[in-house]
């Protein structure tokens, strides 16, 4: 084999080996088969005086044979399984709490005092207004929930109420008797 042919074969081998991606088993088989075939073809061709032709024929047969053998080997290589699909996002159930229903307090009519008392509270209902005693002062509102304003001159009947927590000092038998007359609760 001439030096020119050896240089060409080396250049081709270096060009293929210098690829950025790694070679597959099929490509490695084709290169190895081509190199072995070229060497064998050159050796056989040199005995007949045609080393170049023998090298080319040997390289072609070796490359095809190496590719076929490499392909068979590549088919038997273990392959990485495809990655599992991402898990589905969990369903989120948003449940709102049930509404809190606070019933309106009952009004208890106290005939001895001439007023209604809000059950469990020191709030008096008289003349369409609610009155609340706090810190020695009377406050007034159109609703038992407020807003409350200071009363400059409370109605005189409020002075007849017992001092302190008068909702706890109801006359006997009135604690659960009272009912709200129609049109009085706001």
Which sign does the torsion angle of CA 115, 118, 124, 125 carry? negative
* Cα distance between residue 138 and residue 151, in whole Å: 6
Q: What six digits make up the tokens of 109?
A: 């009519």
In sequence order, the 6+-apart residues with CB closer than 8 A to the CB of 26 are 67, 70, 71, 74
Q: 139 near 129, Cβ under 8 Å?
A: no
178 pLDDT above the threshold of 50: no
* Cα distance between residue 4 and residue 173, in whole Å: 128
pLDDT per residue over 31-89, tens digit each?
Answer: 676 667 666 666 666 677 766 776 667 666 666 666 667 667 767 777 788 888 888 88
Average pLDDT of every residue of the chain:
73
pLDDT per residue over 101-122, tens digit each?
Answer: 777 778 888 777 788 888 777 8
Q: How many residues does the chain have?
A: 186
What's the average model confidence in pLDDT over 84-103? 83
């Amino acid at each position: 084999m001439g030096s020119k042919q050896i240089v060409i074969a080396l250049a081709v081998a270096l060009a293929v080996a210098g690829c950025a991606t790694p070679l597959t088993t099929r490509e490695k088989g084709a290169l190895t088969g081509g190199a072995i075939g070229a060497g064998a073809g050159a050796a056989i061709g040199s005995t007949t005086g045609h080393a170049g032709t023998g090298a080319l024929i040997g390289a072609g047969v070796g490359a095809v044979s190496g590719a076929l053998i490499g392909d068979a080997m590549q088919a038997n290589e273990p392959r990485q399984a495809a990655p599992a699909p991402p898990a589905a996002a969990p369903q989120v159930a948003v449940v709102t709490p049930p509404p809190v229903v606070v019933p309106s307090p009952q009004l208890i009519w106290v005939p001895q005092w001439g007023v209604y008392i809000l059950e469990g509270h020191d709030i008096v209902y008289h003349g369409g207004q609610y009155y609340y005693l706090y810190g020695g002062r009377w406050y007034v509102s159109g609703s038992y929930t407020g807003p409350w304003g200071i009363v400059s001159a409370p109605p005189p009947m409020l002075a007849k109420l017992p001092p302190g927590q008068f909702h706890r000092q109801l006359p006997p038998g009135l604690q659960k008797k009272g009912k709200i007359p129609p049109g009085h609760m706001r």
